[in-house]
Chains A and B, each alone.
Chain A
Amino acid sequence: MKSRLRELRASRRWSQAELAEMLGVSRQTVNAIETEKYDPSLPLAFKMARLFQAPIEEIFQDDSH
């Protein structure tokens, strides 16, 4: 799944560690999502959407088809 997480994080000048703390996850998880090695669960995706005040579809794009 394609992710704009890095772009959104950078626009707010947050580090991965800062974003991880806000989301209640580890920095490695943030990195794995940004590098598209890991797709977050729905609750975590909703948390990100609330944090960035954007719909989930603006943060993640399904590229499976």
Chain B
Amino acid sequence: MIPNTPEQVWVGSKEYSWRMDWATNGWLILAAVTSGLGDIMFSHLVREAPVTIQWVVAALPFAFILLWARALSRWIAGMDELHRRITISAVLFAVSATLFVIMLWHRLDKAGLFQAMFPATGGTGARWDIATVGHGALLLTLFYGLGHARFAKRYL
């Protein structure tokens, strides 16, 4: 049996497999898309809908996130021991760094730092919130890439 490798989900690599990438990360993409659509729809359409529908629209992305976590753990479980060690380290780093950035950003936003730095946006109602599934997915991807490069350097 050929073990899974991290390169299978790196677009542009020789070993890239869109099938494996979709199987592993498809749920995260769905989560980001449904979350974004939900954010857009909520203020206009969903608020008029019954509470059950509002709950489904709000919670659906998180169901997809749980499915993504399951797909990710299966992908990692199919790796050989060295790649599994590197990838788990990278995933842990990505999750920690993403949580750190989102919590720090939220804190700075609550303290009014961004409004003070960019006063022109205050009256426009611009939001500085990055605690969304889309932003989280982007940050996870970025920090996973950085983490993987850092931990792989030790062994490969």
Contacts and interface: CB of A to CB of B under 8 A. Distances in A.
Interface of A: 21, 24-26, 28-29, 31-32, 37-38, 40-41, 44
Nearest 6 CB-CB pairs, A to B? A25-B80, A29-B82, A32-B155, A38-B155, A37-B155, A29-B80
Contact of B2 (A21, A28, A32, A37): A21
A38 B3 contact: no
30 contacts: A21-B2, A24-B1, A24-B3, A25-B80, A25-B81, A25-B82, A26-B3, A26-B5, A26-B79, A26-B80, A26-B82, A26-B83, A28-B5, A28-B82, A28-B83, A28-B155, A28-B156, A29-B80, A29-B81, A29-B82, A29-B83, A31-B156, A32-B82, A32-B155, A32-B156, A37-B154, A37-B155, A38-B155, A41-B81, A44-B81
Contacts of A28: 5, 82-83, 155-156
A25 B80 CA distance: 5
A38 B82 contact: yes
Nearest to B1: A24
A32 B155 CA distance: 6
A38 B154 CA distance: 9
Contacts of B2: 21
Interface string B1-34: 1110100000000000000000000000000000
